[in-house]
C-alpha cells in the first residue's frame, strides 16, 4: 500500500524536503503499524529537516518526533487494531521514520494509549513540546516549589515549550513571569496566565555577578546560554529551574555559588528518553488535573505540504504557539 510522507533528502544543493509517495515496505520493522492522524512541529524536527546530523544521521528521512493515530496492525497483545495511541520521542523522527507521514511503524515500548477524556487531536496540540513543559513542571513540583514561594519564569515564552509552561504554571497557581523576545505578543502571554511579561534583552550578555538580588523561586528554561546564566544568579533559597532547550546557544557559564549558598537545583529534562510510565503520567495529567482549556487556541493546523514553510519559521525563532500536522 502506498501513502504520503514528508521526506528530507540530501542533494547537491543541500537538504531538500518534499511530500512523496512511500510504501509500507519502506517503513522499519516494528511491532505496531499506526495510521497517523496528527503530529506536531517541534524544534528538533526543524533540525532534522535541515540536515542536522546530531539529530538524524541518514537521509532520505521523514522527520516528526511525535504522532497520534490509530493502530492498524499489531503483533503485540497490548495494542489492538483500532486503539487510539500516542507516540513521542525515543528514536521516532530521529533515525526512525517519523510522524510527518500517513503511517509509522514502531516498537510497542514507545506507545501510550490515549487517556480517557482526551482526544488525539488535543494530544498533538501539546505534542512533544507540551509533554516537555509538563516534565519540567513535574520536576519543579517534586523539588517542593509551591506558588507561595514566589515568582517563576518561563523563557522562550511564545514558543512551543514556553507557551504550555506558561499556561500550566499559571493553572497551578504560580505567578509566572514570561520572558520573551516578542514584545508584540505580551497581551497573548498575559491572556494565557502570565502575571508579567519581560523582554529577554534584560537577561542577555555575560553573567554580571555570580549572585544577584534573589527574585526567582524557579523557572522553566527553553533557551540556555547567557539568559539562563543570568537567571541562575537571581534565585531564592532552594529554587528549582528545569532546563530543556538551547535555542539561545549550547554553552552555560555559571558559578558554584547559587548551588552551594542558595541550594539551587538545576533540573535537566530529556523528554525523548523519559520512561514510558512517566510519559503516561504526564498525558493522564493533561487529560485531568492539568487540562488546559486554552490549548486549542494556540494551534495552527497544517497539512504535509505546508510543513516546509513552518519549519523555516521555527528555525528563525518566529513561531508563536504550536503547529499541528493534520493528515
Smaller CB separation from ligand NAP, 103 or 160: 160
**171 binding ligand NAP? (CB under 6 A):** no
Cis peptide before 60 (omega within 30 of 0): yes
Residue span binding ligand NAP (CB under 6 A) among the ranges 48-56, 101-109, 111-119, 157-165: 157-165
CB nearest ligand NAP: which residue? 159
**222 binding ligand NAP? (CB under 6 A):** yes
DSSP character string of 70-130: EEEEESSTTS-TT-EEEEESTTBTTTB--SSBSEEEE-GGGEEEPPTT--HHHHHHHHHHH
Give kind and range of the element (H or E) at residue 254: none
**134 binding ligand NAP? (CB under 6 A):** no
Q: Within 73-132, which residues bind ligand NAP (CB under 6 A)?
A: 128-129, 132
Smaller CB separation from ligand NAP, 92 or 269: 269
**Mask 33-52, x = binds ligand NAP (CB under 6 A)?**
---------xxx--------
DSSP character string of 258-315: HHHHH--EEEE--STTS-HHHHHHHHHHHHTTT--TTGGGGEEEE-GGGHHHHHHHHH
3-state secondary structure of 37: strand
- List 246, 252, 266, 276, residue binding ligand NAP (CB under 6 A): 246
- List 98, 134, 248, 258, residue binding ligand NAP (CB under 6 A): 248
- List 27, 34, 269, 299, residue binding ligand NAP (CB under 6 A): 269
Smaller CB separation from ligand NAP, 211 or 252: 252
- The Cβ of residue 61 has, within 10 Å, a number of other Cβ atoms equal to 27
Contact 8, 61 (CB under 8 A): yes
- List 30, 159, 193, 219, residue binding ligand NAP (CB under 6 A): 159
Smaller CB separation from ligand NAP, 74 or 230: 230
3-state secondary structure of 46: helix
- List 62, 88, 180, 265, residue binding ligand NAP (CB under 6 A): 180
Compute the least distance from the CB of residue 166 to ligand NAP, in Å.
Answer: 10
Q: How many residues contact ligand NAP, by CB under 6 A?
A: 32
DSSP character string of 194-251: -SEEEEGGGG-SS---SS----EEEEEESS-HHHHHHHHTTEEEEEEEEE---TT-S-
- The Cβ of residue 153 has, within 10 Å, a number of other Cβ atoms equal to 29
- List 27, 223, 232, 307, residue binding ligand NAP (CB under 6 A): 223
**317 binding ligand NAP? (CB under 6 A):** yes
**138 binding ligand NAP? (CB under 6 A):** no
Compute the least distance from the CB of residue 110 to ligand NAP, in Å.
Answer: 15
Give kind and range of the element (H or E) at residue 134: helix 120-142
DSSP class of 184 = G
Cell numbers 524557579 correspond to: 218
3-state secondary structure of 327: coil
**What is d(CA 209, CA 3) in angstroms, rounded to the nearest whole number?**
56
**158 binding ligand NAP? (CB under 6 A):** yes
**154 binding ligand NAP? (CB under 6 A):** no
**182 binding ligand NAP? (CB under 6 A):** yes
Q: What residues contact 26, with CB distance under 8 A and at least 6 apart?
A: 97
Residue ranges that bind ligand NAP, judged by CB under 6 A: 42-44, 128-129, 132, 156-162, 180-182, 200, 222-223, 227, 244-248, 269-272, 314, 317, 319
Amino acid at each position: 500500500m502506498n501513502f504520503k510522507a514528508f521526506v528530507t533528502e540530501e542533494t547537491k544543493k543541500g537538504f531538500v524536503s518534499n511530500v512523496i509517495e512511500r510504501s509500507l515496505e519502506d517503513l522499519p520493522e516494528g511491532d505496531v503499524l499506526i495510521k497517523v492522524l496528527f503530529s506536531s512541529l517541534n524544534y528538533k524536527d526543524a533540525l532534522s529537516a535541515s540536515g542536522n546530523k546530531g539529530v538524524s544521521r541518514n537521509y532520505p528521512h521523514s522527520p516528526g518526533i511525535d504522532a497520534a493515530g490509530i493502530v492498524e496492525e499489531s503483533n503485540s497483545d497490548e495494542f489492538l487494531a483500532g486503539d487510539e495511541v500516542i507516540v513521542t520521542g525515543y528514536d521516532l523522527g530521529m533515525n526512525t521514520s517519523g510522524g510527518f507521514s500517513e503511517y509509522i511503524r514502531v516498537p510497542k515500548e514507545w506507545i501510550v494509549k490515549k487517556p480517557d477524556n482526551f482526544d488525539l487531536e488535543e494530544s498533538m496540540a501539546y505534542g512533544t513540546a507540551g509533554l516537555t513543559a509538563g516534565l519540567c513542571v513535574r520536576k519543579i513540583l517534586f523539588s517542593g516549589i509551591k506558588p507561595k514561594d514566589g515568582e517563576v519564569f518561563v523563557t522562550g515564552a511564545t514558543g512551543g515549550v514556553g507557551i504550555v509552561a506558561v499556561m500550566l504554571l499559571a493553572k497551578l497557581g504560580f505567578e509566572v513571569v514570561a520572558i520573551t523576545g516578542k514584545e508584540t505578543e505580551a497581551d497573548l502571554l498575559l491572556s494565557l496566565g502570565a502575571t508579567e511579561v519581560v523582554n529577554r534583552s534584560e537577561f542577555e550578555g555575560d553573567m554580571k555577578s555570580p549572585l544577584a538580588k534573589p527574585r526567582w523561586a524557579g523557572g522553566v528554561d527553553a533557551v540556555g546560554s547567557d539568559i539562563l546564566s543570568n537567571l541562575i544568579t537571581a534565585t531564592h533559597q532552594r529554587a528549582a529551574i528545569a532546563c530543556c532547550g538551547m535555542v539561545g546557544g549550547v554553552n552555560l557559564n555559571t558559578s558554584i555559588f547559587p548551588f552551594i549558598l542558595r541550594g539551587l537545583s538545576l533540573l535537566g529534562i530529556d523528554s525523548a528518553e523519559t520512561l514510558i510510565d512517566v510519559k503516561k503520567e504526564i498525558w493522564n495529567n493533561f487529560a485531568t488535573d492539568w487540562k488546559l482549556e486554552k490549548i486549542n487556541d494556540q494551534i495552527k493546523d497544517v497539512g504535509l505540504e505546508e510543513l516546509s514553510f513552518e519549519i523555516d519559521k521555527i528555525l528563525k525563532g518566529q513561531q508563536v504557539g504550536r503547529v499541528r500536522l493534520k493528515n
